[in-house]
């Protein structure tokens, strides 16, 4: 992306000097490493605490689930992670409760926000502790500690609904429907659980390249393109024809299967796309996001109460971010009549922007 495009985007967003500097550095590999070094130094004490807690958890559990960094993903077999049956049942309740609101949500959503909807705000999440419990089980936290170098943060819990879309001939897919890398850090783990059967491409399956194949694809493409300013995408999106020109179709992995299938995916190292749901179909999926405490690029996160767990336990650490936010600050009730996207960033009392913006490191 050219400097002029960066400048235009910054001006349109009305961002401050600190955020502008963050994005200017974040866009380059060297700048990203500088930001990462700064974050690691800033949070040295917390990193050490989480590293020691993660090692103790790995020793205690034996870390039965591991992710190979060369793959960047792992399928979860039935029974490997506790709490998943309760999670799926709870998500069914979320979806059933949202059904009457879906036509209005789709009508209100502009452009790219119509690709996928999160049906679960902070209040809804607080009412369903089984969703958090499944994401902070000893087994999953041990896996994340092994892969990320310490007890991670559970930053997002979402129940996603992707409606079918009309796709006129020649109209391109957009945003996360195109191949891209997520850029919050150089590693992270997203937990995906299918809440409906995904049979084929008409259901918009998550599609990705393993990490090693993704690196090779980027090399053939001549490097990573800069993601949109202000986006969680550090690199991309890539046009389909670009990716498919350099990729062996046999290397592409799709998350098809029956409801209940589970995938752990590092979306920072794997080139991926999804939510290309065809007209007349829909896809529902649960997503949990586990990231490092000192991640480089902070994006909106859920308010989650750590008080149900003993202080300094791996679970409490996983629910204690570097800074606190008011409940519903980023994720108010998505089913409320006023569009949630327009209310994001408001505290319960309606005050605007009390905590700092989440975009600058």
What is the tens place of the pLDDT at every residue in 20-52?
A: 677 777 777 788 888 899 999 999 999 999 999
pLDDT at res. 82: 96
Residues 6+ apart with CB under 8 A from 281: 164, 202, 203, 204
Task: Give this prediction's pTM.
Answer: 0.87
Average pLDDT score over the chain: 85
263 pLDDT band (50/70/90 cuts)? very high
- Angle made by CA atoms 337, 277, 193, in degrees to the nearest 5: 80
The one-character DSSP state at 213 is H
Q: Are 67 and 74 in contact (CB under 8 A)?
A: yes
pLDDT at residue 174 in the model: 67
The pLDDT, as a whole number, for residue 26 is: 73
123-152: burial string, b at 16+ Cβ within 10 Å, e else = bbbbebebbbbbbbbbbbbbbbbbbbbbbb
Report domain extents, the chain: 3-343
Q: What is the pLDDT of residues 331-353, one digit of tens each?
A: 999 999 865 555 555 544 443 33
pLDDT(122) > 70: yes
Mean pLDDT score, 245-272? 95
Helix, strand, coil proportions of the chain in percent (round to 5)?
40, 15, 45
pLDDT at residue 88, rounded to an integer: 97
In this prediction, residue 114 carries a pLDDT of: 67
Could you please state the CATH topology (level 3) that the domain comprising 3-343 is classified under: Jelly Rolls (2.60.120)
Query: What are the strands, taking DSSP E only, across 124-271?
Result: 153-163, 179-182, 189-194, 207-208, 233-238, 253-254, 262-265
């Amino acid at each position: 992306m050219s400097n002029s495009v960066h400048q235009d985007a910054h001006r349109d967003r009305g961002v401050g000097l600190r955020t502008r500097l963050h994005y200017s550095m974040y866009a380059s590999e060297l700048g990203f490493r500088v930001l990462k070094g700064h974050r690691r130094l800033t949070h040295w004490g917390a990193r050490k605490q989480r590293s020691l807690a993660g090692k103790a958890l790995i020793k205690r559990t034996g870390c039965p689930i591991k992710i190979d960094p060369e793959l960047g993903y792992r399928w979860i077999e039935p029974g490997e992670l506790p709490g998943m049956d309760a999670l799926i049942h709870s998500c069914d309740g979320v979806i059933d409760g949202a059904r009457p609101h879906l036509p209005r949500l789709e009508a209100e959503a502009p452009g790219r926000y119509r690709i996928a909807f999160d049906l679960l705000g902070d209040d809804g999440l607080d009412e369903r502790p089984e969703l958090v419990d499944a994401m902070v089980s000893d087994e999953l936290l041990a896996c994340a500690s092994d892969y990320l170098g310490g007890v991670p943060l559970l930053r997002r819990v979402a129940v996603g609904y992707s409606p079918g879309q009309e796709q006129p001939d020649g109209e391109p897919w957009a945003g996360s429907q195109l191949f891209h890398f997520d850029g919050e850090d150089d590693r992270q783990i997203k937990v995906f659980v299918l809440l409906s059967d995904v049979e084929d491409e008409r259901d918009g399956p998550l599609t990705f390249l393993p990490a090693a194949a993704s690196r090779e694809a980027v090399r053939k493409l001549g490097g990573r393109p800069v993601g949109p300013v202000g986006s969680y995408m550090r690199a991309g999106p890539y046009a389909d024809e670009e990716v498919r020109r350099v990729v062996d179709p046999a290397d592409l992995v799709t998350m098809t299967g029956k409801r209940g299938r589970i995938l752990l995916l590092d979306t920072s190292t794997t080139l991926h796309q999804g939510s290309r749901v065809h007209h007349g179909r829909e896809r529902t999926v649960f997503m949990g996001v586990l990231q490092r405490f000192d991640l480089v690029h902070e994006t909106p996160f859920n308010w989650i109460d750590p008080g149900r767990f003993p202080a300094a336990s791996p679970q409490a650490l996983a629910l204690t971010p570097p800074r606190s936010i008011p409940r519903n600050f980023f994720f108010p009730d998505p089913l409320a009549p006023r569009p949630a996207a327009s209310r994001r960033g408001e505290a319960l009392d309606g005050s605007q922007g009390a905590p700092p913006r989440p975009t600058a490191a």
